[in-house]
Amino acid sequence: VREIKVITNLLKANEEVSINNKQIFDEKGVYVVNLMSSPGSGKTSILEKVINYLKDEMKIAVIEGDIYTIKDAERINNLGIPVVQINTEGACHLDADMIKRASEELDLDNINILFIENVGNLVCPAEFEIGEDIKISVLSTTEGSDKPSKYPLMFERSKAVILNKIDLINYTNFNKEEFYKDVRALNEKIYMFETSCTKSEGIEELCSFIKDEMKKKTLI
Contact footprint for other proteins (CB under 8 A): 1-13, 70, 73-74, 77, 83-93, 95, 97-98, 101-102, 105, 123-124, 126-127, 149, 152-153, 156, 182, 185-186, 188
| Terminal-residue alpha carbon distance, the chain | 51
Q: List the alpha helices (DSSP H) in 104-191.
A: 147-150, 152-157, 176-186
Residues 6+ apart with CB under 8 A from 53: 203, 204, 207
Considering beta carbons, is residue 90 or 173 the nearer one to other proteins? 90
Considering beta carbons, is residue 105 or 212 the nearer one to other proteins? 105
Q: Quickly count: other Cβ atoms within 10 Å of residue 82's Cβ.
A: 17
Amino acid at 182: D
Minimum Å distance from CB 36 to other proteins?
14
In DSSP terms, which residues pair with 60 in a beta bridge?
113
Minimum Å distance from CB 196 to other proteins?
28
Minimum Å distance from CB 4 to other proteins?
5
Minimum Å distance from CB 46 to other proteins?
20
Considering beta carbons, is residue 61 or 214 the nearer one to other proteins? 61
Considering beta carbons, is residue 79 or 168 the nearer one to other proteins? 79
Distance CA 152, CA 122 (A): 9
Give 36's Cβ-side CA count (13 Å radius): 31
Sign of CA pseudo-dihedral 173, 123, 72, 34? positive
Considering beta carbons, is residue 3 or 56 the nearer one to other proteins? 3
